[in-house]
Structure 1
Amino acid sequence: MSDALVHRQDDDRIAVITLDSPANRNALSRRLVAELGQALAEAGADESLHGVLLRSSHPVFCSGADLKEAATVDMVESARAIVALQRTVTALPVPVVTRLDGAVRAGGLGLVASSDLVVCRDDVTFALTEVRLGLAAAVISIPLRARLHPRAASAWFLTGSAFGAGEALEHGLVTAVADEASMDVAVDAVLADLRAGARQGLVEAKRLLNRDLVTAFDRDGEEMARLSGLLFHSHVAQERMAAALRR
């Protein structure tokens, strides 16, 4: 059995890409980010595809930054890799559909916001917990600010409090919400619509929709990566992350 953290399986013109790092709840380690970026790049080069489905193999979709790793690596470089990953999702030729069956925290919201369509289970919770660690949602602010109502962004960025699927739908983070029993049907309906489209139409429609966001990644990505790294390496963040790991 492969020990890869990201797996791809194709299903009738849809590349199903699965995050599979249960040991750290799909935290955005350098390895997971690299493997996911590679899987997406390969999907982007596959002209047979009409879409990508991004999902998790276990209940948590993504727990955010890998705090253990953050204490030992250059977090500016890690932040640059996350900017590049989000840009890859946004600029991929075909639509990216993200399926959420469980919690999303911090950096994971960047993947959600970079996606084109998001189907979310009704009991999923979200939180931008960075502020409680002395950080800010820097690199993920680029897609989040493009998707969210400004008042919701202020509340979620500044308080770090959890919010649910209904609020995520209301304020533009997700596309549709379904209960556990209906998730397969809801996701399949979205994928069926993508299969029914002509690839040329899908590619050009996505390009039009995401042109401004791709430009924002290119304009602001380096600044946000440097800010993120500065905050991660600060004394207060290092203390708070160490305390969080001890809990």
Structure 2
Amino acid sequence: MFVRSKLFKGVNGLLRRYYSELVIVQENEGIRRIVMMDDKTRNSMTIEMTNQLLRAVTYHVTGPELRAIVISSGARMFSSGHNLKDLASSEGRKVFPLFSELMLAIQACPVPVITAVDGAAVAAGLQLVAQSDICVASTKSTFSTPGANYGVFCHTPGIPLSRSVSPKTAAYMLFTGHPLTAQEAMDKGLISKVVDSSELEKEVENICDAIKAKSKVVVSFGKKFFYKQLEMDRRSAYHKGAKVMNVALDFVDGVEGLRSFSEKRKAQWKHVKQV
């Protein structure tokens, strides 16, 4: 599915294909696929891997063409987390602020970021899953934060983890290092859906198709407020939310959506806020 080629820019300047030893990126019909390929280190989150993921997540994301980003693995596991050998040096520890930048970029990305997991997501690999907007996992997948086993407590993975599951579940995972099965992870709110490995790609396509059927500007505006209101108290969130909904209804696509509903026809999205 993924062509091994160097950076190629189409006539509209979009990133179409990119290949390195660590990641393969391909964009087609509005969906950017990022596949981690470092089987040697089981997709460890080195500085180089993090830099390439950051570039792939932030490159040309504001235009109407891109609708979703999917991050998956072509290696034996989704990700083994930070490379513990690298963390023995001060240079290797520079990955922490860089990885935090990647996490914030995923949240700020104007399109949904989806992780497709078919294997183990460990430590920083789990952090990537927890920070993504949607995660679909196969039944064979597992999720863990075993850093304390090696004297490296999973402080930063615990940030999105504790915002996805209950404090008791997060503490259990962080203090014991015990993994959750895919079904347990879904039941506890860490991931979105569990399917057999053979159905994983189909489910990802279904999700992407559902996103593409919406207005990009509506989804982007909605994603921005969704994460903003999570940091508010309930009263402030309702107060701000009412204002945001009124603003969104005046978007070109807001007007078109209501009109198409009344006229019982398919909406013709412009993917813009104003003409």
TM range (shorter): 0.7 to 0.9
Deviations 1:199-231 (A, max 9, x none): 01110111111225789xxxxxxxxxxxxxxxx
Q: Which runs of 5+ in 2 are unaligned?
A: 5-18, 233-275
**Residue in 2 that maps onto 1:104:** 121
Name the CA distance, whole Å, in 1 between partners of 2:67 and 2:136: 17
1:24 pairs, out of 38, 41, 44, with 41
1:131 pairs, out of 141, 148, 152, with 148
**Residue in 2 that maps onto 1:122:** 139
Q: State the TM-score, normalizing by the size of structure 1.
A: 0.82
1:77 pairs, out of 90, 94, 98, with 94
Q: State the TM-score, normalizing by the size of structure 2.
A: 0.74
Secondary structure in 2 matching 1:35:
helix
Q: Which runs of 5+ in 1 are unaligned?
A: 216-247
Are positions 1:191 and 2:208 aligned together?
yes
Are positions 1:41 and 2:58 aligned together?
yes
Root-mean-square deviation over aligned CA pairs: 1.8
For CA contacts below 8 A with separation 6 or more, give which structure has more relative contact order. 1
Secondary structure in 1 matching 2:199:
helix
**Residue in 2 that maps onto 1:227:** none
Are positions 1:15 and 2:32 aligned together?
yes
Name the CA distance, whole Å, in 2 between partners of 1:11 and 1:61: 22
**Residue in 2 that maps onto 1:56:** 73
Name the CA distance, whole Å, in 1 between partners of 2:93 and 2:104: 17
**Residue in 2 that maps onto 1:179:** 196
Write 1 or 2 for the structure with the bigger share of helix: 1
Name the CA distance, whole Å, in 1 between partners of 2:202 and 2:63: 26
Name the CA distance, whole Å, in 2 between partners of 1:76 and 1:45: 31
Name the CA distance, whole Å, in 2 between partners of 1:43 and 1:194: 18
1:65 pairs, out of 82, 95, 112, with 82
Return the index of the structure with the highest Cα Rg: 2
Name the CA distance, whole Å, in 2 between partners of 1:44 and 1:137: 30
Deviations 1:118-146 (A, max 9, x none): 00001111211111112221122221111
Are positions 1:157 and 2:174 aligned together?
yes
The amino acid of 2:45's aligned partner reads: L
Name the CA distance, whole Å, in 1 between partners of 2:21 and 2:54: 13
The amino acid of 2:121's aligned partner reads: V
**Residue in 2 that maps onto 1:93:** 110
Name the CA distance, whole Å, in 1 between partners of 2:229 and 2:90: 32
Aligned residues: 215
Instruction: Confirm or deny: 8 A CA contact 1:82 1:139 kept in the other structure.
Output: no
